[in-house]
Structure 1
Amino acid sequence: MFALLSGVVLGLVYWTTAALIDQQTVTAVNTEMAGLKDIYHRGGPNALVSALENRVTGYQGYHHIYLLAPLDGEPLVGNLRQWPKVEPDRNGWMHFMVESEIEGRRQLWPAHARVVHLSSGLRLLVGRDMTERTGFARIMEQSLAFALGAALILGIIGGIIMSRNLLRRIDAVNRTAQTILEGDLSGRVPVSGGGDEFDRLAINLNSMLDRIQKLVSAMRDVTDNIAHDLRSPLNRMRSRLEITLVGKPDLEEYRHSLEGALEDTDHILHTFNALLSIARIEGRNAVETFAPVDLSELAANTVDLYEPVAEERGQSLTFTPPLGERPTTVMGDRHLLSQMTANLVDNAIKYTQDGGRIEVAVRFDATGAVHLVVGDNGPGIPEKFRHSVLDRFVRLEQSRHTVGTGLGLSLVAAVADLHGARLELSDNAPGLRVELAFPDRAAPPAQAEAAE
């Protein structure tokens, strides 16, 4: 392709240059012919013969060709020995070879001439030596052939270098893909550092592989945790049923055994329902169905719902609304936001000692974002574990005797991510402080009324 384009460009240069030289030749011959015809019309044949003799002996004779002859006779004057044996075309132009002898050597050189017939039975030939034009054409053809050869060689070398580099980069991707297919998820596509398209592709592929490896690792951890969490209730259920069948229980023992089995079944179902909820939340990508939700009202309702539970443990559960009359409206799914708030309050009650303090608040920051804050004075979470507790089945209590699935904060993180909220866990000195910052995306009043 490189050689072809070079040939086209050089061919155009050659064609336009040759056409320009030919046009200059035609113009020069026509101009000279017009001048001689004018001399003939003003002075007759004698004046024309005299003018031709001057031209033949002058500097014009080196480049121009002149010949004046009767229609059927010998030439009268000119620098040609005889009339060319070539028939002119319909425009009077002739292309022929002129024979001459220079330093004892016979030579042929091309000529381009025009013929006109005069009124006195004479015919006049005016032409031009085309040796320079032919030499130029020969040089151009040689240069064109050399340039095309060089372009072809450079094109082949460049093509080989580019194709080898391209294949090398593609082979790197193929090797990484083969490594992944063989089960080694740690393989990554090498990045050259040049910042080209392959580097951007490699960076995207590596990010995708990092994400896949993280998901696979998380899936393995989830599988292990599910097996650990469900093994205990299943073993208890089997033991109760086995003891009931082997012994001779009365009706009350049957009832007690069945109630225990139901509790274990409820725990298993709760675990799977929580997993399904998180999966559905993380799989959602359409937020067009979001509607305006008053976060302050939702938090107040959640506190009212859990206040009797806190009172049973002697805990103080309070809600602090924001100052001012500014609406605390966020765009979101009311059910998911309610479930998220309930999980936060339920966790605070569960892990705060009897007689503890739990505070729920809604406030604004300087950027206009709405914040939901749930704080307690319980044991809290060490800073090094605050990121990992958002993963599924992560529980700081390794014995797992406390009722729970380890999915509460995972669901909170999934809902926050769906709503574009920033989730932050910090020290409440003492206790844990969970804060969610929702972006300022409140719907206009007309939209809010329509949603209501």
Structure 2
Amino acid sequence: MFALLSSFVLGLVYWTTAALIDRQTVTAINTEMAGLQDIYERGGTASLVAAIENRVTGYQGYHHIYILAPREGPSVVGNLREWPTVPPDRNGWLHFSVEAESEGRRQVWPAQARIVHLSSGLWLMVGRDMTERTGFARIMEQSLAFALGAALILGVIGGIVMSRNLLSRIDQVNRTARTILEGDLSGRVPVSGSGDEFDRLALNLNSMLDRIQKLVSAMREVTDNIAHDLRSPLNRMRSRLEITLVGTPDPDEYRKSLEGALEDTDAILHTFNALLSIARIEGRNATETFEPVDLTDLAAGTVELYEPVAEERGQTLTFTPPDFGKAAVVNGDRHLLTQTAANLVDNAIKYTPEGGRIRVWVDPARDSVRLVVADSGPGIPEEFRGAVLNRFVRLEQSRHTAGTGLGLSLVAAVADLHGARLDLLDNAPGLRVDLVFPEKAVRAATEAEDGAS
């Protein structure tokens, strides 16, 4: 393709240049012929003969061809001895060769001429030596052949280099794919650092593989944790039923056994319901249920709901509203945001010791709105703050404290759905959880309220 393109370009240059030279030659011959005819019309044959002799002996004789003669007979004047034997073309032009002695050697020159019949009965032919044009054509043809050969060689070399580079980059992707297929999810496509399309493809593939590895790891952890968390209530349920069946029939024992089984069943259902909720939230991609939600009212209602629980545990639960006149409205799902606030407050109450303090407040800034829940409990070490957002992750490995380890996972899923940022910070002492809604959530709520009004 490179050679064909080069051939087309060079051929076009050759054709246009040759056509230009041909037009210049035709113009020169026509101009000379018109000049001689004008001399003949004004001065007759004698003036024409004198003009041709001057031209033959002058500088024009080196490039122009003249002959004035009867159609059958010797020439009267000119630098050509006899008429050309070739017939004219349909446009009246003669293309012939001229033989002449030059420096003791006989040479043949190409020529182009035109013939007119004069009123005196003589014939006048004016032509031009086409040696330069032929030489130029020969040079152009040689250059064209050389350029085509060079283009073909360079095209083959360039094609080999480009194809080898292309195939090597594709092989890297294939090797990484084979590594993944063999079970090693840590394989990644190498990035050359050139920033080209292959690098962008590699970065996208690596991001996809990172996501896949994270999901697979999370799935494995979830499977292990489900097995661990559900094994205990199922074993307790089985033990109660076996003991009840083996012992003496007693309605009170049956009732206690069934009540314990119901508690264990409720715990299992609670775990599965939490998993389903997280899966539904993570699977949502539409926001048609979003509406303007006032976080101030939402947080105040949640605190009011959990105040009796905190008082029963000897804790202080307080809510601090934003400054007067500041709105804390975001665009979101009211039910999910209420569940998120409840999970955060419930976790704070669960892990804060007796006499501890739990504070909830809403902070509307210029470009964001943040919902904050801070407690004075043991907190979460910095190295575990990213891990506790995964499902079933609990810092208490013995798992004696009530709970499933899904509360913060659900909060993280709701934050992702709303485009919010979830920050776990040190409250010194205790944990501070910041749910930060971006400017676009605030702006969308404002636009929705304006549209409704």
Q: Displacement, 1:310?
A: 1.8
Task: Identify the range of structure 1 (379-388 vs 212-221) with the bigger mean alpha-carbon deviation.
Answer: 379-388
Instruction: For residues 224-257 of structure 1, give each alpha carbon's deviation from its aligned partner in whole angstroms, at most 9, with x where no partner exists.
Output: 1111111100100111111111222300100100
Residue 142 of structure 1 pairs with residue 126 of structure 2:
no
Partner in structure 1 of residue 375 of structure 2: 376
Equivalent residue letter for 1:158: G
Task: Identify the range of structure 1 (429-438 vs 442-451) with the bigger mean alpha-carbon deviation.
Answer: 442-451
Partners of 2:451 and 2:193 lie apart in 1 by: 53
| TM-score normalised by L of structure 1 | 0.96
Q: Is the 8 A contact 1:303 1:317 kept in 2?
A: yes
Task: Identify the range of structure 1 (252-261 vs 372-381) with the bigger mean alpha-carbon deviation.
Answer: 372-381
Q: Displacement, 1:357?
A: 2.1
Partner in structure 1 of residue 428 of structure 2: 429
Which aligned pairs between 1:102-113 and structure 2 lie closer than 5 A? 102-113=102-113
Equivalent residue letter for 2:101: E
Partner in structure 1 of residue 37 of structure 2: 37
Q: Is the 8 A contact 1:291 1:451 kept in 2?
A: no
Equivalent residue letter for 1:393: F
Partners of 1:81 and 1:290 lie apart in 2 by: 104
Q: Displacement, 1:220?
A: 0.9
Partners of 1:427 and 1:96 lie apart in 2 by: 102
Residue 309 of structure 1 pairs with residue 303 of structure 2:
no
Partners of 1:126 and 1:269 lie apart in 2 by: 111
Instruction: For residues 46-100 of structure 1, give each alpha carbon's deviation from its aligned partner in whole angstroms, at most 9, with x where no partner exists.
Output: 1111221222222221111100111332211111121111222344321111122
Number of residues of Structure 1 aligned to a counterpart in Structure 2:
451
Partner in structure 1 of residue 449 of structure 2: 448
Equivalent residue letter for 1:309: V
Q: Is the 8 A contact 2:329 2:445 kept in 1?
A: no
3-state secondary structure, aligned to 1:143? helix
Equivalent residue letter for 1:195: G
Taking a change above 3 Å as real, the CA distance of residues 122 and 449 of structure 1, as seen in their structure-2 partners, is: closer
Task: Identify the range of structure 1 (105-114 vs 63-72) with the bigger mean alpha-carbon deviation.
Answer: 105-114
3-state secondary structure, aligned to 2:419? coil
Q: Is the 8 A contact 1:68 1:123 kept in 2?
A: yes
Residue 78 of structure 1 pairs with residue 78 of structure 2:
yes
Partners of 2:228 and 2:446 lie apart in 1 by: 50
3-state secondary structure, aligned to 1:185? coil
Instruction: For residues 142-199 of structure 1, give each alpha carbon's deviation from its aligned partner in whole angstroms, at most 9, with x where no partner exists.
Output: 1101110110000000000000110010011001101111111111111111111111
Taking a change above 3 Å as real, the CA distance of residues 449 and 46 of structure 1, as seen in their structure-2 partners, is: closer
Partners of 1:115 and 1:279 lie apart in 2 by: 97
Q: Displacement, 1:298?
A: 0.8
Partners of 1:132 and 1:149 lie apart in 2 by: 25
Q: Is the 8 A contact 1:292 1:442 kept in 2?
A: no
Partner in structure 2 of residue 396 of structure 1: 395
Partners of 1:276 and 1:3 lie apart in 2 by: 63
Taking a change above 3 Å as real, the CA distance of residues 253 and 451 of structure 1, as seen in their structure-2 partners, is: farther
Q: Is the 8 A contact 2:331 2:445 kept in 1?
A: no
Partners of 1:240 and 1:90 lie apart in 2 by: 117
Residue 197 of structure 1 pairs with residue 202 of structure 2:
no
3-state secondary structure, aligned to 1:373? strand
Instruction: For residues 301-356 of structure 1, give each alpha carbon's deviation from its aligned partner in whole angstroms, at most 9, with x where no partner exists.
Output: 11121122222222222211111122221110000000001101111111122332
Instruction: For residues 346-385 of structure 1, give each alpha carbon's deviation from its aligned partner in whole angstroms, at most 9, with x where no partner exists.
Output: 11111122332222111223x3422211122222222222
Task: Identify the range of structure 1 (330-339 vs 63-72) with the bigger mean alpha-carbon deviation.
Answer: 63-72
Which aligned pairs between 1:243-254 and structure 2 lie closer than 5 A? 243-254=243-254
Equivalent residue letter for 1:45: T
Partner in structure 2 of residue 21 of structure 1: 21
3-state secondary structure, aligned to 1:161? helix
Partner in structure 2 of residue 92 of structure 1: 92
Which aligned pairs between 1:204-223 and structure 2 lie closer than 5 A? 204-223=204-223
Q: Is the 8 A contact 2:74 2:81 kept in 1?
A: no
Partner in structure 2 of residue 321 of structure 1: 321
3-state secondary structure, aligned to 1:381? coil
3-state secondary structure, aligned to 2:49? helix
3-state secondary structure, aligned to 1:101? strand
Partners of 1:383 and 1:72 lie apart in 2 by: 116
Q: Is the 8 A contact 2:292 2:445 kept in 1?
A: no
Residue 167 of structure 1 pairs with residue 167 of structure 2:
yes
Partner in structure 1 of residue 183 of structure 2: 183
Partners of 1:297 and 1:34 lie apart in 2 by: 104
Taking a change above 3 Å as real, the CA distance of residues 18 and 41 of structure 1, as seen in their structure-2 partners, is: same
Q: Displacement, 1:212?
A: 1.0
Equivalent residue letter for 1:448: E
Q: Displacement, 1:398?
A: 1.0
Partner in structure 2 of residue 255 of structure 1: 255
Q: Is the 8 A contact 2:87 2:94 kept in 1?
A: yes
Task: Identify the range of structure 1 (191-200 vs 374-383) with the bigger mean alpha-carbon deviation.
Answer: 374-383
Q: Is the 8 A contact 1:422 1:436 kept in 2?
A: yes
Partners of 1:33 and 1:363 lie apart in 2 by: 99
Residue 336 of structure 1 pairs with residue 336 of structure 2:
yes
Partners of 1:201 and 1:443 lie apart in 2 by: 34
3-state secondary structure, aligned to 1:190? coil
| TM-score normalised by L of structure 2 | 0.96
Q: Is the 8 A contact 2:330 2:445 kept in 1?
A: no
Taking a change above 3 Å as real, the CA distance of residues 445 and 382 of structure 1, as seen in their structure-2 partners, is: closer
Task: Identify the range of structure 1 (135-144 vs 103-112) with the bigger mean alpha-carbon deviation.
Answer: 103-112
Equivalent residue letter for 1:223: T
Equivalent residue letter for 2:449: A
Partners of 1:267 and 1:446 lie apart in 2 by: 42
Partners of 1:316 and 1:275 lie apart in 2 by: 31
Q: Which runs of 5+ in 2 are unaligned?
A: none
Partners of 1:424 and 1:59 lie apart in 2 by: 96
Q: Percent identity?
A: 79
